[in-house]
Structure formats: structure tokens, C-alpha cells
A and B are shown apart, each in its own frame.
Chain A
Amino acid sequence: MAQTNAIELRHITKRFGQKVIANDDISLDLHKGEILALLGENGSGKTTLMNMLGGIYFPDEGQIFIDGEEVTIRSPKDSFRYGIGMIHQHFKLVDVFTAAENIVLGLEGEKGKLDKSSIRKTVREIAERYGFEIDPDQKVYDMSVSQKQTVEIVKVLYRGANVLILDEPTAVLTPQETDKLFAVMRNMKKDGKAIIIITHKLHEVLDVSDRVAVLRKGKYIGDVETATATQQSLTDMMVGRAVSLNIDRPKAEKCVERLVVNNLTVRDKEGVKKLDNVSFAAMGGEILGIAGVAGSGQKELLEAIAGLQPEEPGSEIRYISPEGNEMSLIGMDPLDIINAGILLSFVPEDRFGAGLVGSMPIVDNIKLRTYRDHKGILADRAKAQALADRIVLDLEVVTPNTNVIPIRRLSGGNVQKVLVGREISSSPTVLMTAYAVRGLDINTSYMIYNLLTEQKMKGAAVIYVGEDLDVLLELCDRIMVLCGGQVSGIVDAATATKEEIGLLMTQFRREDKA
């Protein structure tokens, strides 16, 4: 019998450290000549699973079969050898090289002189066969995001890949570019290649894939033929049933408008819209949750409010102080915004990216915020020390000391507690936090939830960007859902369902897709 599966995964388990199980006993097949969509929320383990095929990670348990034979993939090189080509979200290209140079980089077996004309010819052949548009001599730094992606795809095809794995390829593309990519993918499918596409966008899943496999919190939920699936059925599989967490949510009292955002638009350095006409109001005395798949504009939104992102003309951010004074935050200095009582505690992938200096001890990191309160040329160490001691005590930060050991040496959870604790300590009127509980254990997470609720009851407007929908639903008073930089809906957290939010998270405004 002919082998119909390009790849079979059997009982794959991958753990990071003691606590985190990224993939739990996953078994999955990829047929030849099909496009399989891998669907799941953030942190459901899609990328981890694919990285094991790409040779970035090695599974702790389980087997991988390629064309029916068991294989061991230990490095990206091994992965190439078995005909697997992975296109990462972050392109691995050398900017000052041409497309052609990037495509042949590191190829084995061909030593000596670079035969540029034969490389060009092969690249053109591949481009013609699948319908790419590519100029082999164009430098990568001159390319648009979509062109860079094309180079990545041609690169793996040039190496003879039979299986292509695309990790959220459309996240960076315009709708027109997405359509082009899908056309190319269909051509590759016709050519007998097997393709796995990771995406959050349900309409794209329905558009391009033959079959959908769903992961949730590291577990394999099941697969379904795309023809029989709907957006609703896929959302249900993806988010699952609501879990009760019993987070204490006292009723919001004396809500007053604290922060009004109107038509906020932000572009990144490449000119791509990261926020598109966002309008909402945050109330003092409530927690406003912000939901959305990663990269939907959460970071840009918070940074724009904190004065760290330049806004496009026409954007409006108004702040109304508890005393009733109004002021515009557009174009204001980050320091003035902080002094007005608007604080941002952002927990990025690396916790030291925003707000903490890894090589300094806790006290010095706290001093970064407090030193301005003190007049004179010397910094007031005693005050920072007292605050450090209080944070350590209140939040149960585990550390040998507060004034010697660099904060980098603390565990992630403890670092986060210091970060959040520091921001809360200055009794803000607007407190913005992003991914405040990322990587924390349950107890610490609840501690943070309680701290945020405490701030809310004190009358602060709390903006909570979160990943876990269950938490958002129980912690927040209202939830704003972002999708592709736009507000796709603002719902009342007490009555909204997980499915409703899940659907909003993946719902692009259709009229924008020309």
C-alpha cells in the first residue's frame, strides 16, 4: 500500500522546565498533497510542536515518522535533510545579501565558487512553477515583508522541501498579499507538497485548508474536514468550555471616565498600521480587559497611551484626572504622563525589555522610579529600600537580598512581582498591565489579580491585557477585543461567553478586505 502520510507524529510530549507542558501526548498526521491548518489560541503549543519538526526543539517523548519511517530530528540541518522546510514568523535572512545569496546560504555539497547565474536560473524556475514574484538580485533590506516571506519560501523549495510549515504567514501580510500567498500554496499542493499552516484567523483557515487540527493548552483536541467546519464550530474547539476560576470580582463602583481614546491610529517603522482607528473609554473603578491574539496591537495601544509610540494625526487620547481636570496626552513626554499618574507595567517576552535593568538589584530598580521624588543631587536610597522591603514582604518575593543580587538572577515570577509591585506602589490613577501573570504559578497569579482589583476599588482605571480568556472573563468588568489593530467589539464581561470573545478575536472587519 502506498504511503499516504507525509508526516506522522505519535505521542509527542515536550516540557519546558518542571511546570510547563507545552505539548502533551500529541498525535497528528499530515497527508501528502494537503493543506493542514493548525489552529489554537496563544500558548496552545502549535509553534512548539512545529519547532520539533523544524529541528529547533527535541521532543521529550514520542516518535516522528516521515514517509512511514521513524526519524530523529536533532537540528535544522536534519530537518532539511528529511525535506521539511519551515518558514518562521521572524524571517531568518541576512539583510545585506541578495535574495539569491540568502537562498543558497549554507547549502551543503556545493563548495567553491558561487555560480550566480545558475542560482538565478533555478530561482526563476521555482518562481514560475508556483507563481511567485521574485527578483534574485534584490537586496533583502530593499524588500517588503511579503517579498521577504517569498524569499523564505523559495529558500526551502530550492532545498527540495516536500513539507512546508508556515508559522502565521499572514500575520504580516495585507489581504491582497495573503490572497497571492494562498494561490501559491494551492499550486504547491497541486505539485504534491504537503503544507501545514499555523494561523489564528478562522476565515483564512476556511479559505485555504483541506483539514483543520486543533490544539488547546498543549493538548490535541481533534481534527475536522474544512468542508464540514464553520467559524462557530472551530471557535468552540479552539477555546473549549469555560472554566470557573473563582476570581473575586467586587462590583465596580462610582465609575467615571478616566481615559478617553478616539480614532487612535499607530503605524510601525515600516509604515504598517498597528492600530487602526481605535476608540474606547477606560473608567476609573473598573478593570478593562483587552483580549486578542498576540500582535493585534495590544503593545502599541499601551505604549501609545504611555507616550512611547508616535500617534498618527487625528488620534485623540484624553485623560480626566480624579479632580476633573482634562488634558490631552498626545505628544506628551512619557515622564509627564507618569507624573500624571498613568503607569504602565508591561511584561514582554523578556521581562527586562520594559522597565527593569537586569544587572541591578531590586532596590536600584525601584529607585529608577522613585529617585525623582527626592530633591538634591543624591538619590534617596532609604526610601527605595523601604519600598523594596515592603514589596518583597507583601508579594512574597523569594530573593536572598534586595540590595546586592542582580534582579536577573531571580526567577521569572519573582521578577514580575517586583515589576508589578513597583508600579502599583505609586498609587496610579491609570494602571496598565500586559501579560502580568505570564509564566507565574497559580498562587502568584491570584495575588496579582487581587492587587489589580485592589487598585480598581481605590478608583484607578485598570487596563489588563491578558491571554487567558477564562481569566479575562472573571477578572475584568468589560472586555475590549482587538483584532488586527482594530476594535472588533467591547463586551460586558459578566454576561459575555468565551465563544463570543473567541469569535471576535478572529473576526476581521470584512469591508477592509478588498
Chain B
Amino acid sequence: MSGFLSFLSSFSTTLTFSITFGTVILFGALGEILSEKGGNLNLGVPGIMYIGAIGSLVGALWFQGATGSLAGSLGIFYPILCVIVCLIFAFGMAMLAGLLFAYLTISLRTNQNVTGLTLTIFGTGIANYIGGSLGSVGTVRADVTSDAIKAYITPLVKWLDSLTDKFNLGSLLFRHGFMVYLAILVAIALWYFLTKTRTGLSLRAVGENTATADAAGININKYKYLSTCIGAGISGLGGCFYVMEYIDGLWETSATIGALGWLAVALVIFATWKPMRCIWGAYLFGLLSWFYFLVPGLFKGSDKIFQMLPYLFTLLVLILVSLRRKPEDQPPASLGKAYFREER
């Protein structure tokens, strides 16, 4: 009995971690869906998430350093201000990386795969370069910002925990910072935008059949630029969430952001480009990344074999989708193709 209870407890802990990782992946995947729906296959997601991460950290450190003296007088508003600045930095820096990708692939029509992979290498490199040198400057923990991002409603969590005994439902569902719920909101907003609005319809048309969208009078470049840049911004929030919530406003050195970034790319395929399917898919991927926690007797190294589970699931989905041949589950038909207006 006690064995079962301890398993339940460790299962609950694992689920909590799964939600944290799932949220990182979810942000990454949602941004990538927006980009891919406009026909731009951005394989720079891991790099963009790195840039979002370092952007948020640098922004938060800079803002806290420059305005620390105001903390007392602003009270509760100071941390809120810190969070807003941090998010703007994460989103903005990631958007700039997206803009670079957009300029290269849309205006200069470079190969999207090559450009995306290069962006991943570039983003990872520059973020780690800046992150690695933060230590020599002085304070390296964005404490106020990180604590604010991690804040949750303690009474709610305690009350629910007491109701559900060992399973700790309160901790599981509500002991997370607001960004966990923001990610779900973004997913719902993205679903609404893509399926219910005219602008969303136009964007999908661009990704499906660019020439048709062009003939219908849709401004192709505008849609492609905006979807790629905003998509990159959303992906960047994943990196921000990772450094602020999961590692307490420090710089990460374990290359996990990159791994989660690739999972985000895989999730887009797993979810067959559908934002709503992304939500549970992200948590599933999160759980699969932590699955080795639940397997007894693992030593360091052998956990790696379990970390490939999400990719295995993605492969499985790819096989299933290609067997079912449902047009709605296919990638946007013009994905990855540069657009040339027909000329004679």
C-alpha cells in the first residue's frame, strides 16, 4: 500500500514537472504553427527559444539593476513591471530572430531548411555566449522577475491538496506561474484566429496555395513576415518561461532548451498543425521527457533511452497520419516553398 502511495506521490511530482516542460514545448510549438500555417518552415525554433531565453534574462537583469531603487515605492506593481519588461524582451528578441529568418527566406528566398538550421546554431551560440559571460558581470539571478513569474495562489493550492490527499491535485494544477495558463490561452486564441477569422483564413490560404492567395489579392509578403515574426516571438516565450520558472532566473547550461525546441518542432507534426491538439500533446511530451523518473533502477545515461519517447510517438503519428491520408492532417501544401509570382 505504501509502495503505491509513494508511487502516486512521485507520479504527481512527475506530472508537475511534465506541465512545466510541456509549457515550454507548447509555446515553441504554437509559434511554429503560426509560422508554418503561413508556409514558412522555421527549423530555427530551438535557436529562437534560446534567444528568447537570453533576451528575457538580460532584459530582467538590466531592468532590475536600473530600477532597483524604485522597488520600495512601487510595491506590488514593481514585480509586475519587471515581468512585463522581461516578456517584452523575450518576445522582441525572438521576433528579431524571426525577422532575420523571414528576410532571408521570404525576401531573399533562401532555402528554409538550411536557414532554419543555421538560425538554430546561431541562436544557441549567441545565447550561450552572452549567458556564459553573465557571471563575470555580477548578479546573475533575475530574482524579482523570476519570483513574480513563478508566483501562484498558495491558499488555493493548499486547500485542493488537503482535499486530494497524496495525489496533491492542487500542486499539480495550480502550483505554476501564470505563463502555464497563458500558453493555454495562446493556444485557444491561435485556434480561434486560424479557424474563425478572415485574416486566419487568408493566412492559411497563403500557406496552402500561395499563388491562389496572391490571385485573391492577399498581400503574401505581409502575411508571411508577420506570421513568421509573431510566431518566433511566441516561441521565444518558451525560452523565457524555462529560465524564469524552471531554473529560477539563472542561465541554463544543460542544453535543455535546445532539446525542448526540437520537441516543439516534433509536436507541431504530432498535433497535425492544430493548436488545440497541441495542448494535450505538449503535456504528453512533457510527461514522456520525465518518464524515466517513474522507472526504478535507472542510472545516469540509461535515462536517455526514455528521452527519445516523444520522438518515437511523433514517428508513430506520422505513420498513422500517412496511413489515414486525411487532407486536413497534412502539412500546409506550400510549406517550405519560396514563392515566385509567375512571370513570362
Contact = CB atoms under 8 A, between A and B. Distances in A.
Interface of A: 16, 56-57, 75-77, 80, 92-97, 101, 104-108, 110-114, 139, 141
Contacts of A56: 342
Contacts of B204: 94, 97
A92 B212 contact: yes
B197 interface: yes
B196 A93 contact: no
Contacts of B217: 75-77, 80, 106, 108
B327 interface: yes
Contacts of A97: 201, 204-205, 208
A139 B328 CA distance: 10
Nearest to B216: A106
B25 to A, nearest CB: 26
A96 B198 contact: no
B215 A96 contact: no
B216 to A, nearest CB: 3
Given A111-B198, A112-B197, A93 B327 contact: no
Nearest to A101: B201
Nearest to B208: A94
Nearest to B195: A114
B208 A92 contact: no
**Which of A106, A110, A139 neighbours the largest number of chain B CB atoms within 10 Å of its CB?**
A106
Given A76-B215, A97-B208, A112 B327 contact: no
B186 interface: no
Contacts of A105: 201-202, 205, 212-213, 216, 218
Interface string B204-228: 1100110111111110000000000
Given A92-B216, A96-B327, A112-B197, 6 more contacts: A76-B214, A94-B205, A94-B213, A96-B208, A97-B204, A106-B218
Given A16-B344, A75-B217, A95 B198 contact: no
Contacts of A141: 327
A114 B197 contact: yes
B199 interface: yes
A57 B344 CA distance: 9
Contact of B327 (A76, A95, A107): A95
Contacts of B196: 113-114
B333 interface: yes
Nearest to B200: A114
B300 to A, nearest CB: 46
Nearest to B344: A16
Contacts, number: 68
B60 to A, nearest CB: 36
Contacts of B212: 92-94, 105
A108 B217 CA distance: 9
A101 B216 CA distance: 12
Contacts of B202: 105-106
A300 B261 CA distance: 48
A92 B209 contact: yes
B192 to A, nearest CB: 9
Nearest to A91: B212
A112 to B, nearest CB: 6
Given A112-B197, A112-B198, A114-B196, A106 B208 contact: no
A137 to B, nearest CB: 14
Contact of A111 (B199, B216, B327, B344): B199
Closest 3 A-B residue pairs measured CB to CB? A106-B216, A77-B217, A92-B212
A96 B204 CA distance: 10
Nearest to A88: B215
Contacts of A94: 204-205, 208-209, 212-213
**Which of B202, B209, B212, B216 neighbours the largest number of chain A CB atoms within 10 Å of its CB?**
B216
Contacts of B215: 76, 92
A114 B212 CA distance: 19
B328 A96 contact: yes
B208 A95 contact: yes
Contacts of A76: 214-217
Contacts of A104: 198, 201
B108 to A, nearest CB: 18
Contact of B197 (A96, A108, A113): A113
**Which of B201, B208, B218, B328 neighbours the largest number of chain A CB atoms within 10 Å of its CB?**
B201
Interface in B213-263: 213-218
A104 B204 CA distance: 13
A139 B198 CA distance: 17
Contact of A93 (B199, B209, B214): B209
A111 B218 CA distance: 13
A106 B197 contact: no
Contacts of A101: 201
A58 B328 CA distance: 37
A152 to B, nearest CB: 11
Nearest to B328: A96
Contacts of B328: 96
A444 B209 CA distance: 38
Contacts of A114: 196-198, 201
A111 B209 CA distance: 21
